[in-house]
Amino acid sequence: MQLIKRTLGLVCMMLGPLAIWYLVSTASSEIARKPGTDTWIQWGVFVGVFLPIAIGLVLFGYYALRGEYDRLPSRSDEL
pLDDT digits (tens, 9 = 90+) for 9-30: 999 999 999 999 999 999 999 9
Query: Per residue, what are the HEC states of 3-64?
Result: HHHHHHHHHHHHHHHHHHHHHHHHHHHHHHHCCCHHHHHHHHHHHHHHHHHHHHHHHHHHHH
Instruction: Calculate what percentage of the chain has a pLDDT beyond 90.
Output: 75
Domain that residue 15 falls in: 7-68
Q: Is 78 contained in some domain?
A: no
24/2: higher pLDDT? 24
Q: Each residue of 53-67: b (16+ CB within 10 Å) or e?
A: ebeebbebbeebbee
d(CA 74, CA 78): 7
Q: Is 44 contained in some domain?
A: yes
pTM of the model: 0.79
Q: Is 20 contained in some domain?
A: yes
pLDDT confidence bin for 69, thresholds 50/70/90: confident
Q: Is 75 contained in some domain?
A: no
The tally of domains found in the chain comes to: 1
Averaged over 42-58, what is the pLDDT? Answer: 94
Cα–Cα nearest to 14, from 48, 50, 60, 67:
60
Per-residue pLDDT at 40 exceeds 80: yes
